[in-house]
Amino acid sequence: MRYAKGRKDDTRQRIVTAASRRFRKDGIAATGIAGLMADAGLTHGGFYAHFASKDDLVRGAVDAALRGTREILAAAARRARDEGRDGLEAIVECYLQTSHRDRPETGCAAASLAAELARSPKSTREILAHDVDEVISVIAAEIRAVSPEAAYDAASAIFSLMMGSLQLSRMMPASDVSEAMLVAGRDACLALARRARQRLEVNRGKVSTAE
């Protein structure tokens, strides 16, 4: 039976959504095609009508998950600015919150799947790199450093700290230690941001004096 293109697209999206959640929760290697197709309410046999391989699905699922993370962080920053709060602080707090730690299936795919994705084919890692770059750019926009390059460098360090703090907090069996990891990560990220902004003020002062 042939289906309309719109229906096929909808079915593909259901599979991507189900896989995105399952991969982040259980890992890529531990997730079988039959199980994730069942999550999407579909049969195993229909998988290859939509994807050439599991790697093909991984690319789509990781891309969708990281685009979602970028949108969530950008929205958090916008809300903060509208309320007169600091956008970068809102991003850090949004990422390093307890609910993100406890629900990896809805969170950042880079943090959940970094080890597995590092061993993925180059085509998968290229998509990951592009999506991570866009997340970093959202952070950089809130730093407003002396140059786009300096802002990006600081944002890269902040995102790396956020990821590492989240991963460590998930590893800790004791809830108080896990929470301490999140708090320490937030403090370190905001300290990095303050340093970047202080450099901006110093450089502005030098320019003003020169003039």
pLDDT at 43: 87
pLDDT in tens, 95-104: 999 999 999 9
Q: State the sign of the Cα–Cα–Cα–Cα dihedral 19, 51, 123, 69.
A: negative
Cα 150 from Cα 132, distance rounded (Å): 17
Which fold, 53-210?
A: Tetracycline Repressor; domain 2 (1.10.357)
Average pLDDT in the 133-158 region?
A: 89
Place of tokens 């140059």: 147
Residue 27 near residue 61 (C-beta atoms within 8 A): no
pLDDT at 8: 81
Report which secondary-structure segment, H or E, holds 34: helix 33-39
Is the whole-model pTM more than 0.85?
Answer: yes
The mean pLDDT value of the chain amounts to 89
- Domain boundaries of the chain, sorted by first residue: 53-210
Average pLDDT in the 83-94 region?
A: 95
